Amino acid sequence: EDIFQSVGVPLVRNALAGYNTSILSYGQSGSGKTYTMWGPPSAMFEEHSPQSHKGIVPRIFQMLFSELEKEQRMSEGKQFNYQCRCCFLEMKDDSKNALSLENLSEEYVTSYDDVTQILIK
Protein backbone atom coordinates (compact mmCIF):
# COMPACT_ATOMS: atom_id res chain seq x y z
CA GLU A 1 0.00 0.00 0.00
CA ASP A 2 2.82 2.40 0.90
CA ILE A 3 4.54 1.87 -2.45
CA PHE A 4 1.30 2.36 -4.36
CA GLN A 5 0.54 5.58 -2.48
CA SER A 6 4.05 7.01 -2.91
CA VAL A 7 4.69 5.86 -6.49
CA GLY A 8 1.45 4.71 -8.13
CA VAL A 9 -0.92 7.52 -7.22
CA PRO A 10 1.43 10.33 -8.38
CA LEU A 11 2.15 8.37 -11.57
CA VAL A 12 -1.58 8.18 -12.38
CA ARG A 13 -2.10 11.86 -11.54
CA ASN A 14 0.76 12.83 -13.87
CA ALA A 15 -0.59 10.62 -16.66
CA LEU A 16 -4.01 12.26 -16.30
CA ALA A 17 -2.32 15.66 -16.51
CA GLY A 18 -0.94 14.66 -19.92
CA TYR A 19 2.58 13.60 -19.02
CA ASN A 20 4.20 10.42 -20.29
CA THR A 21 4.81 8.13 -17.35
CA SER A 22 6.69 4.92 -16.75
CA ILE A 23 7.63 2.60 -13.96
CA LEU A 24 10.79 0.54 -13.65
CA SER A 25 11.92 -2.06 -11.17
CA TYR A 26 15.57 -2.92 -10.83
CA GLY A 27 17.41 -5.12 -8.40
CA GLN A 28 18.99 -8.40 -7.54
CA SER A 29 17.30 -11.66 -8.52
CA GLY A 30 14.88 -12.84 -5.88
CA SER A 31 14.51 -9.43 -4.23
CA GLY A 32 10.74 -9.15 -4.87
CA LYS A 33 10.58 -6.97 -8.00
CA THR A 34 8.04 -9.13 -9.81
CA TYR A 35 5.85 -9.57 -6.74
CA THR A 36 5.91 -5.84 -5.97
CA MET A 37 5.04 -4.94 -9.55
CA TRP A 38 2.41 -7.61 -10.25
CA GLY A 39 1.45 -9.34 -6.98
CA PRO A 40 0.74 -13.07 -6.91
CA PRO A 41 0.00 -14.54 -10.36
CA SER A 42 -3.72 -15.03 -9.72
CA ALA A 43 -4.43 -11.60 -8.19
CA MET A 44 -4.43 -9.61 -11.42
CA PHE A 45 -6.84 -11.88 -13.24
CA GLU A 46 -9.29 -12.61 -10.42
CA GLU A 47 -12.13 -10.13 -10.68
CA HIS A 48 -12.84 -9.99 -6.94
CA SER A 49 -9.27 -10.17 -5.67
CA PRO A 50 -8.71 -7.61 -2.87
CA GLN A 51 -6.68 -4.54 -3.86
CA SER A 52 -4.16 -5.37 -1.14
CA HIS A 53 -3.29 -8.61 -2.96
CA LYS A 54 -2.54 -6.88 -6.25
CA GLY A 55 0.80 -5.46 -7.27
CA ILE A 56 1.46 -1.84 -8.11
CA VAL A 57 0.93 -2.22 -11.90
CA PRO A 58 -2.63 -3.62 -11.82
CA ARG A 59 -3.59 -1.05 -9.19
CA ILE A 60 -2.20 1.77 -11.34
CA PHE A 61 -4.25 0.64 -14.34
CA GLN A 62 -7.39 0.20 -12.25
CA MET A 63 -7.01 3.70 -10.82
CA LEU A 64 -6.20 5.19 -14.23
CA PHE A 65 -9.28 3.78 -15.95
CA SER A 66 -11.49 4.54 -12.95
CA GLU A 67 -10.37 8.19 -13.02
CA LEU A 68 -10.87 8.38 -16.80
CA GLU A 69 -14.42 7.05 -16.43
CA LYS A 70 -15.13 9.68 -13.75
CA GLU A 71 -13.78 12.44 -16.00
CA GLN A 72 -15.88 11.22 -18.90
CA ARG A 73 -19.06 11.21 -16.77
CA MET A 74 -18.30 14.70 -15.47
CA SER A 75 -17.65 16.09 -18.96
CA GLU A 76 -21.44 16.16 -19.57
CA GLY A 77 -21.40 15.55 -23.28
CA LYS A 78 -18.28 17.58 -24.02
CA GLN A 79 -15.65 16.09 -26.28
CA PHE A 80 -13.60 13.67 -24.21
CA ASN A 81 -10.65 12.09 -25.95
CA TYR A 82 -7.69 10.23 -24.55
CA GLN A 83 -5.18 7.69 -25.73
CA CYS A 84 -3.47 5.21 -23.48
CA ARG A 85 -0.54 3.22 -24.82
CA CYS A 86 1.10 0.49 -22.83
CA CYS A 87 4.70 -0.24 -23.64
CA PHE A 88 6.36 -3.31 -22.21
CA LEU A 89 10.07 -4.00 -22.34
CA GLU A 90 12.32 -6.54 -20.66
CA MET A 91 15.79 -5.39 -19.68
CA LYS A 92 18.38 -8.00 -18.74
CA ASP A 93 22.04 -8.04 -17.82
CA ASP A 94 23.97 -10.46 -19.97
CA SER A 95 27.04 -12.35 -18.83
CA LYS A 96 29.33 -9.49 -19.92
CA ASN A 97 27.51 -6.92 -17.74
CA ALA A 98 25.91 -5.35 -20.79
CA LEU A 99 22.26 -4.45 -20.76
CA SER A 100 20.05 -6.11 -23.35
CA LEU A 101 16.54 -4.99 -24.24
CA GLU A 102 14.01 -7.60 -25.32
CA ASN A 103 10.37 -8.03 -26.25
CA LEU A 104 9.41 -4.41 -26.79
CA SER A 105 5.70 -4.12 -27.41
CA GLU A 106 3.33 -1.17 -27.61
CA GLU A 107 -0.44 -1.51 -27.45
CA TYR A 108 -3.31 0.97 -27.30
CA VAL A 109 -5.70 0.17 -24.48
CA THR A 110 -9.07 1.56 -23.44
CA SER A 111 -9.83 -0.50 -20.32
CA TYR A 112 -8.31 -2.57 -17.55
CA ASP A 113 -9.57 -5.67 -19.38
CA ASP A 114 -7.52 -4.65 -22.44
CA VAL A 115 -4.43 -4.54 -20.24
CA THR A 116 -5.06 -7.99 -18.76
CA GLN A 117 -5.62 -9.44 -22.24
CA ILE A 118 -2.24 -8.08 -23.36
CA LEU A 119 -0.55 -9.59 -20.34
CA ILE A 120 -2.13 -12.99 -20.96
CA LYS A 121 -0.48 -13.18 -24.42
**Residue 27 annotated as lining a ligand binding site:** yes
**Residue 30 annotated as lining a ligand binding site:** yes
**Residue 83 annotated as lining a ligand binding site:** no
3-state secondary structure of 90: strand
- Rounded to the nearest 5°, which phi and psi values hold at 59? -70, -35
Is residue 39 left, alpha or beta, with left meaning phi > 0 and alpha meaning psi from -120 to 50?
left
**Residue 116 annotated as lining a ligand binding site:** no
**Residue 34 annotated as lining a ligand binding site:** yes
Q: 64 burial class (0-12, 13-18, 19+ CB within 10 angstroms)?
A: buried
Partnered with residue 105 across adjacent β-strands are 88
Partnered with residue 85 across adjacent β-strands are 108
Binding residues: 27-34
Binding residues for ATP: 27-34
